[in-house]
Structure formats: C-alpha cells, structure tokens
Amino acid sequence: MSGTPSRLILPVLVCAQLFGTSLWFSSSAALPSLIRDWRLSQADGGLLISAVQVGFILGTLLFALTNLADVLPASKIFLTSAVLGATVNVLFAYSATQLSEALVFRFITGLALAGIYPVGMKVVVSWAPGGIGNALGWLVGALTLGTALPFLLASAGADWPWRTVIMFSSLLAVISGVMVAWIGEGPNLIGARKVELRMILRVFRYRGFRRAAFGYFGHMWELYAFWVITPLLVHTALKQLGLGQPEWVSLGVFAVIGIGALGCIGGGLLSGRLGSRAVASISLAVSGTLCLVSPLLLVIHPVLFLAGLLVWGVFVVSDSAQFSALAAKSCPQQYVGTGLTLMNSIGFALTVASIEWVTRLYAELGAQVAWILAPGPVLGLILLNWATRRDTALEVEPEPDGPTIENLIAHPLHDFTAPQRSGGPSLF
C-alpha cells in the first residue's frame, strides 16, 4: 500500500469505483447521439445496453467459478479490468463501423466491468471489516448518483458527441485502475491459496450468505426494472400536470434515481446502529409496499404519485449495499470475492427477465406494471428474515472453510486456526 492516510482510503476507493463504472452508465449519456449518428432504432440502442449487461453477467459467473477474485490480488484484477474496459471502449468509438461490431465491443466492456464492480467492493471490504455497511453505502450511493447524472445533463440540454463521452469514460476508467492499484488490498482479508471450483456451491452452505443472497435476488428483481420504467412513470404523471416536455421528464427521472444515493448513504450510516439486516428489511418492506400502492397513488393525484416515486427511489436501492455487506461478512474470509461475484451474476441475470417483462407490458398495464415487481421485495424480505425466530442475528460460528469476517468481529481473540466441528448444511 501507499502512504495514503487512513481517512482518505474510503473516499479514494469510492471515487475509483465511480470512475471505473463510468464505462457502464456513460452509455446512457452517449446513446441518443450514437442513435442519430448511426441511424439506429431504439431497439438497436437497447441491444447495445443489453450487450454490456450480458457481458457483466457472464464475467461475474466466470470470476465466481474460478475464484479469480480471491486467488489473484483484487487490486491487480481491478487495474487490468479497468485498462481492458477503457481500451475496448476506445475501439468501440473509433473502430466499430456497424452494429454487430459495436455489440461485440460492448459485450467485452461488460466482461471487464465484472472485474471492477464486485472486485472493487472486495477491496473496500478489505479496508473496513467493522464498518462494511457504511463503507459500501457510500460506494453504492456514488454509483447510483452516476447512474442518474446522464438524465440531469439531458434536462439541461447537454448533447455531447457520443465519442467524446466514451473517450472521457475510458480516461476515467484508467485513472480508477491506477487509484486502486495505488491503495492496494487492506489487511483484513486473506487470499485463497488455490482454485476451489466447488466454492461456487459451498458458499451457500453458510446460512448468513444464503439469506443475504436470496434477499438480494428479490431486491434485484425490482431495482433495475424500476429504474428502466422510471422515465415512463415520470412522463405519465408529468403529462397529467401539463409538464410532459422532455427536459422536465429528464429532471424528474434524475430526481427519482439520484435520490437513491441519499438512501444508500443513510442506510449505511443506520447500519452501524441497527445492523445491515434491519436496514435491508426496512428497505424491502417500504419498496415492496410502494410496488403495490403506487398505481393507486396515480389515480388519486399525479403529485402524490410523484412523491411516492421519490420515496420509492430512496428505498429501492438503499438495501443494495447492505446485502453485499451481509454476504461479505458471512463468506469464508478467503472467498469473499467468489461470494460477491456469484451473487452479482445471479442478481443481474434476474434483472434481464424483470426488465423484459415490465417493458413489454407497460403499454398495456401502465403504472400497474409495478405490481409485477412486488414479488421481488416481498419474497426477499421473507427469505432474508426466515430464521429470525431461531436466532436474532446472522450466525457467527466458524465453518470448515475458514473464518468469516463476522467471526473475526464477534470473536477477535478466538483461535480460528483450531479444528472446528460443523453441524452440516441446512436450508436456513
């Protein structure tokens, strides 16, 4: 590690993660200009975004299968992935001449992002074992704000050439890789000594990880589908108020998505007092309720509906960092990267189905399409808290694959190198 003061490590890592994932969310800012220049249809533009999503899903699955995020130094993976993503982004901007070539470049960009987003979370975890929920809250909050920023630019009339946007995001990605390589891994995680292909299944033997993962899957069913239909929902309400112009809609979308950054940061701060599971449970309960009642709010009055969307925007993402914190605490310490990449892979795969479903049915159902999202947070809440009648917190007992971070926090003087007995796997 460099001589970076400890108080600056988290801000530097948050900025690095934001810069690195600009490869992802900058495509939203570049897409309108690209569609005009290449004379693409809106469906073609959707394919370019989906190609990144598919690449990310397969990339995280590859990391989980091979334990690469644990066997190799996480900071070096991050640097390599950031440089790869930046390079492919430049090739996309200046070498692609048709849609098929562009799709290949965007797919590879998604693969590179698999070594940036979850691996970056592992680096953050390595520096903050006792405050993971708070640290990841800041990180996910920054990414949420980055996702919303293109809509703010659109509301202000900004229409930058798409190649300029792509080049700028590539530069930020390289800077992010250098920043993480400079900081390096923290002292609170150990690397895996060898590839353990079975770990992709063995992490689910940990009750805490299972509950966090299943809660996360329900959360992901809702989150990205909600963000995708937010422009449609905001337009529906503003049109009734006589404010359906594109600049007002873009500003409204920025507010609904961007306010989630405050939810992430607030959830992280509350996790220190209430615990990550409690924060995630509250978030799921509120967002699930809004899935059910938001169409009714639109019937009552569009202003009430918009207010509901803002509240929904806060809680729909405020649990994301807490699920990652719970999963990181519950995994074997040397396989945190495997657990996080596996959880991301399955979670983002679910978003493909929910996004496809709600976008296809919106024309027919309107705001009532929100009801399709409700099973995600409802089931996530149930599965996350299924075992609370038997134990009041995530278990911290050691298991055969080594100590978890939760073990180290709860029992700092315990000898985790001694042989441990296991009661065997259970569902929860």
CA distance linking residue 267 with residue 285, whole number of Å: 14
CA distance linking residue 376 with residue 215, whole number of Å: 9
222 closest CA partner among 111, 354, 102: 354
- What are the CA-CA distances from residue 192 to residues 71, 72, 288, 332 (Å)? 5, 8, 38, 10
1 within domain boundaries = no
Residue-level pLDDT at 417 = 30
Listing DSSP states for 113-170 in one string gives HTTTHHHHHHHHHHH-TTSHHHHHHHHHHHHHHHHHHHHHHHHTT----HHHHHHHHH
Residue-level pLDDT at 33 = 84
CA distance linking residue 275 with residue 279, whole number of Å: 7
Residue-level pLDDT at 161 = 86
pLDDT (mean) for 90-113: 93
Among 169-178, 249-258, 290-299, 415-424, which is the least confidently predicted range? 415-424
CA distance linking residue 240 with residue 208, whole number of Å: 46
Q: What is the mean pLDDT of the chain?
A: 85
pLDDT at position 2 over 60: no
Residue-level pLDDT at 202 = 82
237 within domain boundaries = yes
Among 145-154, 214-223, 258-267, which is the least confidently predicted range? 145-154
* Structure tokens given for 368: 């009532």
Q: What is the CATH classification number for the domain harbouring 386?
A: 1.20.1250.20
418 within domain boundaries = no
Tens-digit pLDDT profile for residues 221-231: 999 999 999 99
421 within domain boundaries = no
- Residue 127's domain comprises 6-410
374 within domain boundaries = yes
381 within domain boundaries = yes
pLDDT at position 187 over 50: yes
Domain count, the chain: 1
E strand or H helix at 239: helix 207-240
425 within domain boundaries = no
* Structure tokens given for 49: 């975004």
51 within domain boundaries = yes
pTM for the structure as a whole: 0.86
Residue-level pLDDT at 43 = 82
